[in-house]
Amino acid sequence: DGVANQCSYVLAHDFYNQSFTVLLEPSVLEKSGRHSRKITLIFEDQLLEVDILDASVRIGRNITTALPAQIGDTVVYRETDVLTIQSFKGFKLTCSLQYHMCSFDLSGWYFGKTAGILGTMNNEVYDDYMTSDHRYASSKEQFINSWKLPECDGDVQSINQTVNFYAASNEVSQLCESFYRQKHSYFASCFPIVDATPFFEMCLDLGQNMVNKTDDPSNNGACTSALAYMEACSLEDMPLRVPDSCIHCKLINGSYVPEGAFVPMKEVDEIPQTSDVVFLVEAKLCNENITTSKSIKALIQSLHKELQELNITDNRYSVLTFGGMSPFDRPRSIIVNDNVFVTHEYIEPFFNHIATAEGSNDDIFDAIIVASKLVFRPGASKTFILLPCSKCASSSMKLDYSSLLQLLLENGIKLHI
């Protein structure tokens, strides 16, 4: 974000009903101790923090955070690497945890009622640079500094784009050039519609300065700018595809394979002897207190032991729920402390988080489809264990059995009921 100080800034605030406040605040990465930034959303007398670089989520001051969660009229859930905070009051915060990018959407009910660094929502350009004291800013720096919280003493400084250009590595420079300067760019069709210059500058800045939590080539900052440009073009009805250089598949050995590449596993030693196991739990009353009523702990220990005896090791487990009351109505992964998959010792809290009720959603096939889109390890066997309450009535399903069977076969998924 180009902000070198440790100040907090108001991104958006509902000045009419005070239904939400969005802040950009300093943060510290737990493992490395390096400085980061977090998005703080205040609503329903609650505090929700999303660390942009650490890809972590915290609700209130809780040490443990489990998703999905219902906070008043607001649902918090995560699908793969996309975190969504959606309120029935008309605001929605969506964050791509992989690409460190968030967007904030408001319904028309907030017309003329909000302000902050993200601008005013009144379809007027002239007052988007309105400062917190209702003046027109003469510079970006004056505008941003006006929205800092009172306890902050420092000022944000302008970014020297020339320094960024010459300081950027050859790899970053070439990547940014390929995105925003070349005629054969993935984004060329949008150049006449959305000015690419600010995104090119963002690409150089983030590519040079952003802290990378992992060694994933996709997390190099340049791809964050690419996703931001795609979002801007999408708002102009110009859809674009993600560049190949921003999509990589992580193998079990820790290496990364770019999109479109094939890695044959010919030798027996190259084929992973491991499994990703997903429990699909229908959150209805038949699965109430599932850890005790269905002896889940004993089941998992027995399953783990049998897999070990078959030399299938390093196994991971996950839980997906559906069919209950919000937020367990739609198929959603249970996330505990930002983990979708864990080893067998840590899976019990995932089941404990499920609240059961007689919801109206009986679409078991849809839950299987959503589970098939989880991020599995390449080469690992995929095992689904379904714990249903409803009957598989065709009238309750979006797809028919033949379509579901084809999905399971194509993805190499073994389903147990």
104 and 228 belong to one structural domain? no
- Of these ranges, 121-130, 152-161, 288-297, the one predicted with the greatest mean pLDDT is 288-297
pLDDT given at position 218: 63
User: Per residue in 358-399, pLDDT tens?
Assistant: 999 999 999 999 999 999 998 899 999 999 999 888 888 888
Is 151 within the bounds of a domain?
Answer: no
134 and 203 belong to one structural domain? no
Question: How many angstroms separate the CA atoms of 264 and 270, rounded?
Answer: 9
Report the candidate in 110, 107, 130, 109 with the shortest Cα–Cα distance to residue 118: 130
341 and 280 belong to one structural domain? yes
Share of the chain above pLDDT 90, in %: 61
pLDDT given at position 214: 55
User: Per residue in 206-250, pLDDT tens?
Assistant: 877 665 555 666 666 889 999 999 999 999 999 999 998 888 888
Question: How many angstroms separate the CA atoms of 277 and 219, rounded?
Answer: 27
Listed range (37-41, 118-122, 156-160) with the worst mean pLDDT: 156-160
The count of other CB atoms within 10 Å of the CB of residue 126 is 9
pLDDT band at 163 (very low <50, low <70, confident <90, very high): low
Would the pLDDT of 327 be above 90?
yes
The count of other CB atoms within 10 Å of the CB of residue 131 is 16
pLDDT given at position 93: 96
Would the pLDDT of 269 be above 80?
no
Region 169-191: mean pLDDT is 90
315 and 350 belong to one structural domain? yes
The CATH number of residue 339's host domain is 3.40.50.410
Instruction: Count H helices and E strands in the chain, helices first.
Output: 10, 20
Would the pLDDT of 188 be above 90?
yes
Its pTM stands at 0.88
Is 372 within the bounds of a domain?
Answer: yes
Question: How many angstroms separate the CA atoms of 222 and 73, rounded?
Answer: 36
Is 34 within the bounds of a domain?
Answer: yes
Is 289 within the bounds of a domain?
Answer: yes
Question: How many angstroms separate the CA atoms of 89 and 17, rounded?
Answer: 11
Would the pLDDT of 80 be above 80?
yes
Listed range (9-18, 132-141, 202-211, 297-306) with the worst mean pLDDT: 202-211
288, amino acid identity: E
Would the pLDDT of 29 be above 70?
no
Half-sphere exposure of 260 (CA within 13 A, CB side): 5
114 and 187 belong to one structural domain? no
> Residue 27's Cα: distance from chain center in Å?
18
- Domain housing 305: 272-416
Would the pLDDT of 270 be above 90?
no
72, amino acid identity: G
Picking from 201, 231, 258, the residue at the C-terminal end of a domain is 258
Is 1 within the bounds of a domain?
Answer: no
Average pLDDT, rounded, for the chain = 88
Region 57-71: mean pLDDT is 88
Question: How many angstroms separate the CA atoms of 334 and 351, rounded?
Answer: 8
Report the candidate in 210, 230, 232 with the shortest Cα–Cα distance to residue 221: 210
**Residue 316 dihedral angles phi and psi, to the nearest 5°:** -120, 155
pLDDT band at 324 (very low <50, low <70, confident <90, very high): very high
The count of other CB atoms within 10 Å of the CB of residue 78 is 20
pLDDT band at 5 (very low <50, low <70, confident <90, very high): low
pLDDT band at 266 (very low <50, low <70, confident <90, very high): low
Half-sphere exposure of 367 (CA within 13 A, CB side): 32
Would the pLDDT of 2 be above 70?
no
300 and 247 belong to one structural domain? no
Region 76-83: mean pLDDT is 92
Per the listing, tokens 């290496």 go with: 255
Is 138 within the bounds of a domain?
Answer: yes
Domain count, the chain: 3
The number of residues making up the chain comes to: 417
Question: How many angstroms separate the CA atoms of 74 and 80, rounded?
Answer: 20
Peptide bond into 198 cis (omega under 30): no
17, amino acid identity: N
Is 209 within the bounds of a domain?
Answer: yes
